[in-house]
Each structure stands twice: as structure tokens, then as C-alpha cells.
């Protein structure tokens, strides 16, 4: 199960995610992100992963895409913080390859 809480605050949108980012929940998170991005004029997006206890490879790929698009990923717990660091490194490589 995945719970997504979206809070819009002026020019900022915060997603708080709880549960497992895997299987059918990955496309649901993507749909929620893209839908919110298309109807808001927010300049900053962040995703709080503190409530997440598992991310599969498809979930990591989506979070990497989100980070490459400028979404800030946050986590304070050791396990999720390590995954966020891996994702951040992957999104940096994507941005580096996208530049001429």
C-alpha cells in the first residue's frame, strides 16, 4: 500500500509518501506527480520519503526521473537517506548526459 499526501504552499508542493513504492503504486505516484505538476504553478517540488519502508527498482527509476526534473527528495532515516543519496547520484548523471 502507498499513501501520498500532497500539500500545496504558495510556490511549493510537498509530497509525503508512506508505505511501499513498488509495483502498481509506482505508476500511481507518477500519475499524481505529473497531474499535480500540470495544474500547479509551483516552482519547487519535494518528496518526503521518511514514511517509506521499501522502494523497488521501478520506484527508484521514477524517483531518479523526478530528481532529474528538479524534485527535491528528502529522508532522515538511515535506510531511506542512503537510497536518496543513490538516487541523487543517478539523477546527476542523467543531467550531465543531457547537457551538450
The total number of structural domains in the chain stands at: 1
The answer to whether the CB of 63 falls within 8 A of the CB of 47 is yes
Among 53, 39, 84, 41, smallest CA distance to 66 is for 84
Statement: residue 72 has pLDDT above 50: yes
pLDDT digits (tens, 9 = 90+) for 12-68: 999 999 999 999 999 999 999 999 988 887 679 999 999 999 999 999 999 999 998
- Closest listed residue to residue 84, CA positions, set 97, 99, 67: 67
Domain that holds residue 26: 2-98
Residue 11: which pLDDT band, with cuts at 50, 70 and 90? Answer: confident
* Domain CATH number, residue 17: 3.30.750.24
- What pLDDT is recorded for position 55? 92
- Res 10 pLDDT > 90: no
Amino acid at each position: 500500500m502507498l499513501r501520498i499526501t500532497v500539500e500545496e504552499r504558495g510556490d511549493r508542493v510537498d509530497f509525503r509518501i508512506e508505505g511501499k513504492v513498488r509495483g502498481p503504486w509506482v505508476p500511481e505516484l507518477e500519475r499524481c506527480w505529473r497531474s499535480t505538476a500540470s495544474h500547479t504553478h509551483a516552482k519547487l517540488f519535494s518528496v518526503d520519503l521518511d514514511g517509506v519502508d521499501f522502494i523497488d527498482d521501478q520506484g527508484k527509476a521514477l524517483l531518479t526521473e523526478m530528481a532529474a526534473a528538479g524534485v527535491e527528495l528528502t529522508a532522515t532515516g538511515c535506510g531511506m537517506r542512503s537510497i536518496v543519496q543513490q538516487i541523487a547520484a543517478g539523477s546527476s548523471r542523467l543531467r550531465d548526459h543531457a547537457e551538450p
